[in-house]
């Protein structure tokens, strides 16, 4: 066997007998991995005269990029909006458990909370790579408290805030720090929101529009100031109206700055959004659709009472309500379930369904050069799936971190 020592002593793994999602197509070729990255086999053969140290037969599986969940409030009994002494062990548990659902990176999400909760919780969230210990953390998603009272959804009204005279300083004082923050959801119709959007965008933080009664021109203005995302489209916003389509109208707006794409999250759990609404959004703007779970602490647990930040929620099947009401409060769907439901509801291709949970969230966060694709030199975070899109194995940095037991499915 020719030596691989010209570049690295690290072993080269060749995944064979698989269909790889690359360039928006499932392609029948092998996947080559070394030192946590995806290798270009041509360079390996011709420049290094190298070959594989290990070959793995994938038994005709689909290999797709790992899923990225940019809106997850918790799961498995853990609530990211509760300030607890063992918060770190809670986030570790969730990051470990979501590996079996194909999530290799995520943004732990905090719903509207008192400042004391942000001040306690945010210093305990740190951006980190994934591995056998669990999915990687890309930074926090802060959903609220600068949102509309009329569209608060499951957010506690007594914690909602408006922007005061020194709006950005007000936001900083509320959160305490933006060090590990990746996304902020706010209502763009609020006075002084434009300066906040500009300041957040300047710092590389993604601004999302949601829990809002904004009309279309207010939403367009927010995008012109830097907003790039819509939090769970259709939920907690004005319904589409033909004379003023509101935030939903951003999907086909002609006022989006050149070269900019607006992304929108969708909770594809069969509960939050009617399949027809899912189809309308997807057909209107397919390249912007980002699947999110919006999962709460009750994901992975039995029906009954659980928490979402300051509120008590009741789980009944796949429905989650604020206790004693019919107000929906997050979901208990896992990401792989959302991918399968999305494909079934829209009739889209397997490739499209998988990219909505991988490539699109990576593009939203500006990390598509290393996550969300299986391009050469990108991180080897990927999944093996069967034709029905059930996850069979999860890999992070080329290492297997979860595998379905043989008796499964």
Q: How many CB atoms lie within 10 A of CB 316?
A: 10
154 is in an annotated binding site: yes
Q: Which domains does the chain have, with CATH numbers?
A: 13-64+373-403 (2.30.40.10), 66-365 (3.20.20.140)
Segment 222-251 shows an average pLDDT of: 97
Cα–Cα distance between 97 and 117 in angstroms, integer?
24
Looking at residue 12, the DSSP 8-state letter turns out to be E
Spatial distance between the Cα atoms of 399 and 382, rounded to a whole number of angstroms:
10
Tracing tokens 């790992």 back to the chain, one arrives at 66
**Strands 54-65 and 37-38: what pairing?**
unpaired
328 annotated ligand-binding residue: yes
Whether 2 has a pLDDT exceeding 70, the answer reads: no
Of the listed 79, 269, 294, 381, which one is catalytic?
Answer: 294
Report in angstroms the alpha-carbon separations of 137 from 127, 141, 183, 266.
5, 11, 13, 21
Alpha carbon of residue 312 to chain centroid: 24
Q: Tell me, what DSSP letter sits at residue 374?
A: -
Q: What is the per-residue pLDDT for 312?
A: 92
155: annotated binding-site residue? no
Spatial contact of 183 and 193, defined as CB atoms under 8 Å apart: no
Q: Per 3-state DSSP, what percentage of the chain is helix, strand, and coil (rounded to 5)?
A: 25, 30, 45
User: How many percent of the chain have pLDDT more than 70?
Assistant: 97
Q: Is 135 annotated as a binding residue?
A: no
Kindly tell me if the per-residue pLDDT of 247 is higher than 80.
yes
Instruction: Find out whether 272 is annotated in a ligand binding site.
Output: yes
Q: How confident is the model at residue 6 (pLDDT cuts 50, 70, 90)?
A: very low
Q: What average pLDDT does the segment 159-184 reach?
A: 96
Structure tokens at 340: 């399968």
pLDDT at site 85: 87
Closest CA to 384 of 396, 368, 369: 396
If you compute the radius of gyration of the chain from its CA atoms, what whole number of angstroms results? 21
CA 104 – CA 71 distance, rounded (Å): 14
191 annotated ligand binder = no
Mean pLDDT in residue range 378-402: 98
Per residue in 292-309, pLDDT (tens digit) is 999 999 999 989 999 899
Indicate the burial class of 307 (C-beta count within 10 angstroms; 0-12, 13-18, 19 or more).
buried
Q: Is 35 exposed, middle or buried (0-12, 13-18, 19+ CB in 10 A)?
A: middle
Which helix (DSSP H) or strand (DSSP E) does residue 263 occupy?
A: strand 263-266
pLDDT surpasses 50 at 409 = no
What pLDDT was estimated at residue 73? 97
Portion of the chain with pLDDT greater than 90, in percent: 90
In the numeric block, the tokens 């030199």 are attached to 377
pLDDT band at 408 (very low <50, low <70, confident <90, very high): very low
Asked whether residue 192 is marked as a ligand-binding residue, the answer is no
Instruction: Name the token pair of 98.
Output: 């979501």
pLDDT at residue 43, as a whole number? 87
* Confidence at residue 407, expressed as pLDDT on a 0 to 100 scale: 53
Residue 259 annotated as binding site: no
Q: Please state, rounded to an integer, the average pLDDT across all residues of the chain.
A: 95
* Residue 232 counted as an annotated binding residue: yes
Known catalytic residue: 377? Answer: no
45-102 pLDDT per residue, tens: 888 778 899 999 999 999 999 999 999 999 999 999 999 989 999 999 999 999 999 9
pLDDT of the residue at 317: 85
Structure tokens at 178: 């933006």
């Amino acid at each position: 066997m020719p030596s691989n020592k010209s570049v690295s002593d690290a072993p080269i793994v060749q995944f064979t007998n698989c269909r790889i999602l690359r360039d928006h197509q499932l392609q029948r070729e092998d996947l080559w991995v070394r030192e946590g990255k995806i290798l270009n086999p041509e360079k390996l053969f011709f420049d290094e005269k190298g070959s594989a140290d290990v070959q793995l037969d994938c038994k005709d599986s689909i290999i797709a990029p790992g899923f990225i969940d940019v809106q997850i409030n918790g799961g498995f009994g853990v609530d990211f909006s509760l300030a607890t002494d063992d918060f770190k062990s809670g986030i570790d548990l969730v990051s470990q458990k979501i590996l079996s659902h194909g999530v290799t990176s995520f943004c732990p999400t905090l719903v509207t909370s008192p400042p004391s909760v942000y001040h306690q919780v945010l210093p305990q969230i740190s951006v980190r790579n994934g591995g056998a210990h669990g999915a990687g953390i890309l930074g926090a998603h802060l959903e609220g408290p600068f949102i509309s009272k009329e569209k608060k959804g499951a957010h506690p009204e007594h914690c909602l805030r408006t922007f005061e005279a020194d709006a950005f300083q007000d936001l900083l004082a509320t959160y305490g720090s933006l060090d590990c923050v990746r996304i902020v959801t706010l209502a763009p119709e609020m006075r002084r929101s434009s300066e906040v959007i500009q300041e957040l965008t300047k710092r590389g933080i993604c601004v999302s529009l949601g829990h809002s009664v904004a009309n279309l021109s207010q939403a367009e203005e927010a995008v012109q100031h830097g907003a790039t995302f819509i939090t769970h489209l259709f939920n907690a916003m004005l319904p589409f109206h033909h004379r003023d389509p509101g935030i939903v109208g951003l999907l086909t707006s002609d006022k989006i700055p050149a070269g900019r794409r607006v992304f929108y999250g969708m909770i594809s759990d069969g509960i939050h959004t009617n399949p027809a609404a899912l189809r309308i959004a997807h057909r209107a703007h397919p390249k912007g659709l980002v699947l999110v779970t919006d999962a709460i602490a009750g994901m992975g647990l039995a029906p009954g009472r659980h928490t979402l930040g300051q509120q008590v929620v009741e789980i009944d099947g796949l429905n989650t309500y604020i206790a004693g009401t019919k107000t929906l409060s997050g979901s208990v769907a896992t990401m792989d379930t959302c991918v399968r439901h999305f494909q079934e509801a829209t009739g889209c291709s397997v490739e499209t369904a998988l990219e909505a949970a991988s490539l699109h969230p990576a593009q939203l966060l500006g990390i598509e050069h290393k996550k969300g694709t299986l391009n050469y030199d990108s991180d080897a975070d990927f999944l093996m799936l069967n034709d029905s899109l059930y996850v069979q194995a999860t890999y992070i940095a080329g290492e297997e971190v979860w595998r379905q037991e043989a008796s499964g499915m």
